[in-house]
Amino acid sequence: MIPFNDLKPLHNLLADELNAAALRALNSGWYILGPELAAFEAEFAAYHGVAHAVGVANGTDAIELALRAGEVGPGDEVITVSHTAVPTVCAVERAGATPVLVEINPDTYTMDAAAARAAVTPRTKALLPVHLYGHPADMDALAALAAQHNLLLVEDCAQAHGARWRGRLVGTFGHMAAFSFYPTKNLGAAGDGGAVITNDAQLAERLRLLRNYGQRVRYHNVMRGVNSRLDEVQAAVLRVKLAHLDAHNAQRRALAAVYDRELAGVMLPRAVGDVEHVYHLYVVRHPQRDRFMEALKAHGVGTLIHYPVPIHRQEAYADLGYGPGSLPLTERIAQEIVSLPLYIGLTAHDAETVAAAARQALAETV
């Protein structure tokens, strides 16, 4: 049996370092906004070559606080995609703004720049592309669109730590970029975590205030904020894993190359253009997706769908007013996609086993 995901092998690989780091934080007697967070923020900013990183409690908060720091709020529209994890849209609404959902490029599964352009109105305040599955969105077109209409550009990098667009790391194109360190992400904590990066000192200052009740000096509040902090134990764990991020992304690419080589008969993911894909997820497409998944399960391979129901078709978001067929590409893709196992600790041999099972499953799915 090969499960869809397993976080234990990665922990075991780094157990000595992780245990030492977690214990160092635990034994320090300082648990919130301390030296581990300061060090992680400096290291995460340096990794990206940007001036500031601000740790927050999770990736959803990272997006919300980035929007709020950029003064996006009630009455403002934020253009993003329906084909994403629901937190992207949760965060827009938590900031008080209105999500405007647009189509994706069917090869990269990321925001279609022409669709985004067509969705701009006088109320549009921000553009929120998602580097989904680890593939960068078209940052040339999207950055140009943001500049042309004077929009705040926030990148959702929750699935793309270390990915590159034309040699440049994602997260360095926008005014701000939001990261999640949920345990399954390419850079994952031992619990929840998130961060926002930016080169803008004023935005960074607003983010530091927002995450800590809006106080600059203890008990003196200069703005209305929230409690959203990355704690010392998580920061210590993330410092260990950040040092291995590029090596782990290279392992993910090597596993993806095995699937690319061994699989035929399904539509494979493609790295389109001059990009470095980091394969947070390896997503294939097949018109008989449900039967293909069942056959794979019978062959002992776990799979998942990212995501089975586009946000604009979710019950909870019915009042956004997108009827069936309003984003036809997004809706069709949601019925055809399936994610294969790809995680640190999966071996090339395991990937060959999955591919062999997939070939059998395909033969049975006619």
- Cα 50–Cα 237–Cα 1 angle in degrees, nearest 5: 115
DSSP class of residue 279 equals -
CB of 242 to ligand PLP, least distance (A): 16
CB nearer to ligand PLP: give 105 or 365: 105
Count the residues of the shown chain that bind ligand PLP, applying the rule CB under 6 A.
Answer: 15
158 part of the interface to ligand PLP, by CB under 6 A: yes
Q: Which residues pair with 177 in a beta bridge?
A: 155, 197
CB nearer to ligand PLP: give 158 or 361: 158
CB nearer to ligand PLP: give 208 or 280: 280
CB nearer to ligand PLP: give 106 or 265: 106
Longest pairwise C-alpha distance within the chain: 67
Say how far residue 253 (Cα) sits from the centre of its chain.
17
**x/- letters, 215..244, toward ligand PLP (CB under 6 A):** ------------------------------
The Cα 249–Cα 316 span in angstroms is 35
Joined tokens for residue 193: 């975590």
Residues 189-208 that bind ligand PLP (CB under 6 A): 192, 194
Beta strands in the chain (DSSP E): 52-56, 77-81, 98-102, 124-127, 152-156, 164-165, 168-169, 176-180, 194-198, 215-217, 220-221, 275-276, 282-285, 337-340
**x/- letters, 43..82, toward ligand PLP (CB under 6 A):** ---------------xxx----------------------
* Residue whose CB is nearest to ligand PLP in the complex, by number: 59
CB nearer to ligand PLP: give 186 or 198: 186
Residues 302-361 that bind ligand PLP (CB under 6 A): none
CB of 140 to ligand PLP, least distance (A): 21
The Cα 262–Cα 260 span in angstroms is 6
CB nearer to ligand PLP: give 233 or 357: 233
* Residues at the site binding ligand PLP, with contacts judged by CB under 6 A: 58-60, 84-85, 87-88, 130, 156, 158-159, 180, 182, 192, 194
